[in-house]
Amino acid sequence: MVRLIHQTTGRGPNDLPGGKNIPSMNLICFAARSLKKLLALFVLVSLVPTSTNAQTATESTTPQKSIEFQPAAKLGLIESARINESSGLAPSREYPGSYWTHNDNGLQPGLFLIDSQGELQGVVQLRDAPFQDWEDIASGRIDGKNYLVLADVGDNAKRRRSYRLFIIEEPKLEINARRKPTEIRVDDYSTIEFSYPDGSKDCEAIALDTQSKKIWLITKEYFIDPTRRTRARAAIYWVAWSTRSKRKVRAKKTTEFFDPMVTGMDISSDNRLAVVRTYPYAKVFVRRDGEDWEQTFARNSNALLLLPPQPQGEAICFDLATKMLVLSSERTNQPLWKIEFKTKPNDVESNRR
């Protein structure tokens, strides 16, 4: 049994997402994009399990203790004009309580460190890193060091021959609340260039498994793929962790993933939970003892959470203590949301065989 939380906001009937006016010259493009998203949301919502109780849903008749969530609440507001397409989120280990984010292919490249209020604390530029389509970011501690994984894996047209993962030791910044955000350039990072075994893929979701040292990826698909007019289903892949630059390794495909339109994911710092989000909802996966994430994802999840309305919500992560989920959205002046666990993950009994 799972508690579904549905959030509403006080948006007026004539307000556009993000509260901005749309220039008339862009009206047609805006309408087309909006229609596309509405159709996608209709398909996604139709997949949400239903039951006689509107607040719960089950995928199994086996009695089990559910994961429950508090209502979503706003942590802060990302006001910096430099962050106009927050596409990924990852908790900082060097600065607990802060989060790393980045633009998709918006105004400028770079990694942005924000505090829990959404205030910009620092900017990190990666020297000579291609800014093609950065879609997600992950963080983790491996071999006694804190790392970030930045994913240049977007491919809406599915034409790229290879994709990149940038591995960066988490930068150390001089943070002072009374000064401007610290800006540094990082020259020392590694690049894993990879391809998929079954052709070009669009991907917006990665997660770092620090135990098995794997970088997990879930592709983004529609049920009817608009680029190829075929029935497509998302799939899960992984790439081996490495701090040495590697050229053209092959990602390993593990299993298909039922949900379309996956836009973000994360694995908790204790490696027990994973979260995968789409635009309207997220799923939380509980890894059983001795189980690999491939087995966990293959079981699907009955822990489904409806997310607060966002103009283009793509980013999600756990906080370091695994007490809550944190979400952001593309476009400027967007809230940083938190969804706390009501039933703590350690209380969940269904993760034991």
Structure confidence by residue, pLDDT tens digits, 206-260:
999 999 999 999 999 986 555 655 566 899 999 999 999 888 899 999 999 989 8
Of 55 and 207, the one with more pLDDT:
207
Query: Is-contact 18 318, C-beta < 8 A?
Result: no
pLDDT mean over 122-142: 94
pLDDT value at position 205? 98
pLDDT value at position 247? 82
pLDDT value at position 12? 39
Q: Report if residue 353 sits inside a domain.
A: no
**pLDDT bucket at 61, cuts 50 / 70 / 90:** very low
Return phi, psi of residue 316, to 5°: -160, 145
Q: Report if residue 314 sits inside a domain.
A: yes
pLDDT mean over 129-158: 95
Say whether pLDDT at 7 is over 50: no
Structural domain tally of the chain?
Answer: 1
**pLDDT bucket at 53, cuts 50 / 70 / 90:** very low
Structural domain containing residue 334: 2-6+18-347
Say whether pLDDT at 75 is over 80: yes
What secondary structure, in 3-state letters, does the chain show?
Answer: CEECCCCCCCCCCCCCHHHCCCCHHHHHHHHHHHHHHHHHHHHHHCCCCCCCCCCEECCCCCCCCCCCECCCEEEEEECCCCCCEEEEEEECCCCCCCEEEEECCCCCCCEEEECCCCCEEEEEEECCCCCCCEEEEEEEEECCEEEEEEEECCCCCCCCCCEEEEEEECCCCCCCCCCCCEEEEECCCEEEEEECCCCCCCEEEEEEECCCCEEEEEECCCCEECCCCEECCEEEEEEECCCCCEEEEECEEEEEECCCCCCEEEECCCCCEEEEECCCEEEEEECCCCCCHHHHHHCCCCEEEECCCCCCEEEEEECCCCCEEEEEEECCCEEEEEEEECCCHHHCCCCCC
The 10 Å Cβ neighbour count of residue 109 is 17
Q: How far apart are CA 39 and CA 222, in angstroms?
A: 11
Q: Report if residue 135 sits inside a domain.
A: yes
pLDDT value at position 106? 60
Q: Report if residue 13 sits inside a domain.
A: no
**pLDDT bucket at 42, cuts 50 / 70 / 90:** very low
Look at residues 219, 231, 286 and name the one whose alpha carbon lies nearest to residue 259. 219
Say whether pLDDT at 322 is over 50: yes
* Residue 174 structure tokens: 């001089």
Q: How far apart are CA 78 and CA 36, in angstroms?
A: 26
CATH code of residue 300: 2.115.10
Please report, rounded to a whole number, the percentage of residues in the chain having pLDDT higher than 90: 63
Which residues pair with residue 273 across a beta bridge? 286
Mean pLDDT is lowest, of 1-15, 219-233, 330-344, for: 1-15
Q: Report if residue 172 sits inside a domain.
A: yes
Say whether pLDDT at 44 is over 90: no
Q: How far apart are CA 235 and CA 217, in angstroms?
A: 8
pLDDT mean over 134-143: 97
Q: Report if residue 24 sits inside a domain.
A: yes
Q: Report if residue 12 sits inside a domain.
A: no
